[in-house]
């Protein structure tokens, strides 16, 4: 199955904006009708000031993508602890469409909250 995608990246001074859209051109016969023509998109705004902190906001969504949220958004903050080390903290809230995602107990997912932390070290 073929698809198409579009991406825009715009940056000015210490700000950056990105947007992306991906879509199937036809319907996947192997998938159920409510998941046969998936599409996904995301937008992100980031601020990279000239100090040790950076932050970003993200909003993304999908239709007909199994186990993916219909809508998810959140924020991330990164702190450059040392020249070659940084710590990133992220929070994302997701909303799911009924019947497209289940938890490990086979219950339909409605909402999810994700917290993440990452320590990166460059060698």
Q: What is the pLDDT of residues 43-70, one digit of tens each?
A: 999 999 988 999 999 999 988 776 778 8
**Whole-angstrom distance, CA of residue 118 vs CA of residue 90:** 9
What pLDDT digit, counting tens, does each position of 64-95 carry? 776 778 899 999 999 999 989 999 999 999 98
Handedness of CA 98, 19, 16, 12 (dihedral sign): negative
> Smallest Cα–Cα separation from 15: which of 53, 51, 55, 42?
55
Task: Residue count of the chain, please give it.
Answer: 123
Locate all alpha helices (DSSP H) within 22-119, ordered by sequence. none
């Amino acid at each position: 199955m073929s698809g198409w995608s579009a991406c825009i990246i715009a940056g000015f001074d210490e700000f950056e904006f990105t947007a992306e859209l991906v879509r199937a051109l036809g319907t996947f016969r192997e998938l159920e009708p409510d998941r046969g023509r998936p599409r996904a998109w995301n937008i992100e705004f980031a601020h990279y000031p000239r100090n040790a902190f950076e932050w970003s906001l993200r909003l993304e969504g999908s239709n007909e993508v199994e186990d993916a949220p219909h809508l998810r958004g959140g924020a991330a903050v990164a702190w450059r602890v040392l020249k070659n080390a940084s710590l990133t903290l992220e929070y994302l809230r997701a909303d799911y469409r009924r019947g497209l995602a289940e938890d490990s107990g086979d219950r339909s997912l409605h909402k999810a909250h994700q917290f993440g932390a990452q320590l990166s070290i460059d060698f």
